[in-house]
């Protein structure tokens, strides 16, 4: 089997970087197509090439005491430099390897000494803004099990699109969308056009891939409910340039406002996305956060309103991970089959 090894220099981050802490601190690492391999402390998933339509699977790991990450690219023995750059860029985004990220982590840990002790602060994210945004919606109005199922369904859908090699170019009108969707439906069992890229596992879909789909089909196929509409709205807004990720801090408020305008995007989802982008101004607090404060801190009165202004909340985020680990063992060593159990409130978890 062909393999290509790449290196990503840690630079400023080399002293503080811890692979396990950088990945297993957020539910995102359990969601498809991410696969965490506890035994080797490495992360496996497909990443996009420079053309962003093809993907290759990679395994990212950190050899102890080395100032760089090793990225094993599967299925090829060499790549054009543009593709190598694209892969490195995505890995850097996921694990927050940049001077700016390192600065953020240090600032945060100065504020909270306990975070520094625990090595908490480098919050895991996706290789793309779109994936972060969609996964944030998947967290809403449903249990954790369903969140995982929806993410997986989206990846399986992407695999099918990639294997069928359907070209979505120039199908922006409604009627063409239907035709495209129809072709996709009929492609389900065709093994015909397998390219040199192994697309069988499926990557997370891009905004381009989703924008051309019929809403009803997307909903039915991935069991998304009302989220299908929200996701498509977002995908189309990104496609026509209305919304774009910006690293510029001054435009963060604007991005937040734009996200709030998408139907189905409320404060929780948008704050969550902003945190991924690198703006920690607003703290996403969900029912799990509230439950945590109630149970662990005995704050019976705690509700949606009292929680938002409390700076203490930041602490509770840290503690939430610790509490889970008390219940389920160290998250990074958890078997992927048990991911759906990880929540404090669900009955299925308590029965164990």
Q: Which residues bind DNA (CB under 7 A)?
A: 140-143, 145-146, 149, 223, 225-226, 263-270, 286-288, 290, 305, 343, 345-348
Pick between residue 60 and residue 133 the one whose CB is nearest to DNA. 133
At a CB cut-off of 8 Å and minimum separation 6, what does 81 contact? none
Helix %, strand %, coil % for the chain, to 5? 55, 10, 35
Pick between residue 179 and residue 350 the one whose CB is nearest to DNA. 350
Pick between residue 116 and residue 145 the one whose CB is nearest to DNA. 145
Least Å distance, CB 266 to DNA, is 2
Least Å distance, CB 113 to DNA, is 29
Burial label, 80 (beta-carbon count in 10 A; 0-12, 13-18, 19+)? exposed
Least Å distance, CB 268 to DNA, is 4
Least Å distance, CB 293 to DNA, is 12
Q: Confirm if 92 and 100 have CB atoms less than 8 A apart.
A: no
Pick between residue 93 and residue 340 the one whose CB is nearest to DNA. 340
Pick between residue 94 and residue 150 the one whose CB is nearest to DNA. 150
The CA–CA distances, whole Å, from 286 to 141, 158, 270 equal 10, 29, 12
Q: Which two tokens stand for residue 224?
A: 């998304």
Cβ atoms within 10 Å, residue 215: 15
Least Å distance, CB 147 to DNA, is 10
At a CB cut-off of 8 Å and minimum separation 6, what does 177 contact? 171, 212, 213, 214
Least Å distance, CB 344 to DNA, is 9
Least Å distance, CB 21 to DNA, is 24
- Our separate counts of H helices and E strands in the chain read 16, 5
Pick between residue 242 and residue 263 the one whose CB is nearest to DNA. 263
Instruction: Give the sign of the dihedral formed by CA 55, CA 200, CA 26, CA 13.
Output: negative
SS3 of residue 88 by DSSP: helix
60/68 Cα distance (integer angstroms) = 11
Pick between residue 50 and residue 142 the one whose CB is nearest to DNA. 142
37/43 Cα distance (integer angstroms) = 6
CA-only gyration radius of the chain, Å: 20
């Amino acid at each position: 089997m062909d393999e290509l090894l790449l290196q990503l220099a840690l630079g400023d981050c080399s002293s503080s970087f811890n692979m396990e802490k950088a990945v297993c601190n957020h539910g995102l690492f359990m969601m498809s197509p991410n696969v965490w391999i506890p035994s080797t402390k490495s992360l496996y998933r497909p990443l996009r090439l420079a053309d962003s339509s093809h993907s290759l699977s990679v395994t990212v790991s950190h050899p102890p005491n080395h100032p760089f990450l090793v990225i094993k690219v599967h299925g090829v023995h060499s790549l054009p430099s543009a593709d190598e750059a694209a892969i490195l860029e995505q890995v850097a985004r996921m694990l927050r390897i940049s001077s700016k990220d390192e600065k953020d982590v240090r600032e945060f840990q100065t504020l909270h000494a306990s975070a520094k002790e625990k090595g908490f602060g480098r919050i895991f994210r996706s290789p793309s803004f779109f994936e972060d945004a969609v996964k944030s919606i998947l967290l809403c109005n449903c249990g954790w099990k369903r969140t995982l199922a929806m993410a997986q369904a989206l990846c399986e859908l992407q695999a099918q699109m990639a294997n069928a090699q359907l070209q979505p170019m120039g199908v922006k009108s409604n009627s063409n969308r239907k035709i495209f969707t129809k072709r996709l439906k009929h492609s389900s069992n065709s093994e015909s056009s397998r390219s040199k890229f192994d697309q069988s596992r499926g990557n997370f879909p891009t905004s381009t891939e989703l924008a051309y789909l019929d809403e009803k089909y997307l909903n039915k196929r991935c069991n998304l409910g009302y989220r299908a509409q929200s996701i498509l709205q977002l995908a189309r807004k990104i496609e026509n340039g209305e919304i774009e990720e910006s690293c510029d801090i001054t435009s963060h408020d604007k991005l937040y406002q734009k996200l709030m305008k998408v139907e189905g995007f409320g404060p929780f989802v948008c704050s969550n996305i902003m945190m991924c982008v690198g703006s920690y101004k607003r703290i996403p607090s969900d029912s799990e956060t509230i439950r945590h404060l109630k149970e662990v801190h005995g704050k019976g009165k705690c509700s949606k309103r009292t929680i938002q202004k409390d700076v203490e909340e930041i602490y509770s985020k840290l503690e939430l991970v610790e509490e889970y680990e008390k219940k389920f063992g160290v998250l990074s060593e958890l078997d992927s089959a048990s991911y759906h159990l990880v929540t404090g409130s669900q009955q299925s978890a308590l029965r164990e």
